[in-house]
A and B are shown apart, each in its own frame.
Chain A
Amino acid sequence: GAVVSQHPSWVICKSGTSVKIECRSLDFQATTMFWYRQFPKQSLMLMATSNEGSKATYEQGVEKDKFLINHASLTLSTLTVTSAHPEDSSFYICSASDRAPYEQYFGPGTRLTVT
């Protein structure tokens, strides 16, 4: 149980384009989903928290107009990186929780490379 998937697992895009990453909870309903960013050999940095049907809450320093988050259903959240630049290249990981504030289950991550 508690399986979270992400799609795509990796993506390469050109600078200036937008990329959408999906996060799905496969066997439970996720009331809350979280989006993290991780640079090589570093820890996970929380970008935003999203609750189904409401606007995402962004962490300080994260541009909400650049990282658009939609949590339209209890099993799906999407992160769209708009007008991507090379510095946006990173490993993006989502997590889901079915009963805040308890443990989160993580997706396998999406490797984004912006050229």
Chain B
Amino acid sequence: GQQLNQSPQSMFIQEGEDVSMNCTSSSIFNTWLWYKQEPGEGPVLLIALYKAGELTSNGRLTAQFGITRKDSFLNISASIPSDVGIYFCAGLSSRAGGTSYGKLTFGQGTILTVHP
């Protein structure tokens, strides 16, 4: 089945530093999504990417949809303590008629710790 490899698994950074994480896939996705999950909560959508090559920003967050449609990265600039959490990439299957239609495939997550 489809798998997403997300790296790094964890990051320990100082406040103010920039952060970068990425996901690669063995298969093509037509939509890439980035979520943040805090302890005891559900994931919150940060950025959605719909076109190969698309670069999208949301405040201090920037994400790109790889040209090959098999990868994506998320950057966080000037990190702050409230950025702590687990960040998940997810690929969305949009191939009509397929058994995975409309389903999300999640990466393993990147645990981010920000030291003040």
Which residues does A use to contact B, with CB under 8 Å? 4, 6, 32, 34, 41-44, 46, 49, 91, 93, 95, 97, 100-109, 111
B42 engages A104 (CB within 8 Å): no
B88 engages A97 (CB within 8 Å): no
Report the separation of the CA atoms of residues A102 and B35 in the bound assembly, to the nearest whole angstrom: 14
Q: Which residues of A contact B88 (CB under 8 A)?
A: 43-44
Q: Which of B40, B41, B101 contacts A101 (CB 8 A)?
A: B101
B41 engages A108 (CB within 8 Å): yes
Q: Which residues of B contact A105 (CB under 8 A)?
A: 45
Interface size class of B (residues with CB under 8 A): 20 to 34
CB nearest to A43 among chain B residues: B106
B44 engages A106 (CB within 8 Å): yes
B92 engages A102 (CB within 8 Å): yes
Q: Which residues of B contact A111 (CB under 8 A)?
A: 40
Q: Which of A4, A42, A49, A103 contacts B31 (CB 8 A)?
A: A103
CB nearest to A105 among chain B residues: B45
Q: Which residues of A contact B62 (CB under 8 A)?
A: none
A106 engages B103 (CB within 8 Å): no
B94 engages A101 (CB within 8 Å): yes
B63 at the interface (CB under 8 A from A): no
CB nearest to B98 among chain A residues: A101
B103 engages A109 (CB within 8 Å): no
Known interface pairs A43-B107, A46-B104; A102-B31 also in contact (CB < 8 Å): yes
How distant is A74 from chain B, measured CB to nearest CB, in Å? 16
Extra contacts besides A46-B104, A105-B45 (16): CB < 8 Å: A32-B102, A42-B108, A43-B108, A43-B109, A44-B43, A44-B106, A46-B103, A100-B102, A101-B94, A102-B31, A103-B45, A103-B92, A106-B45, A107-B42, A109-B42, A111-B40
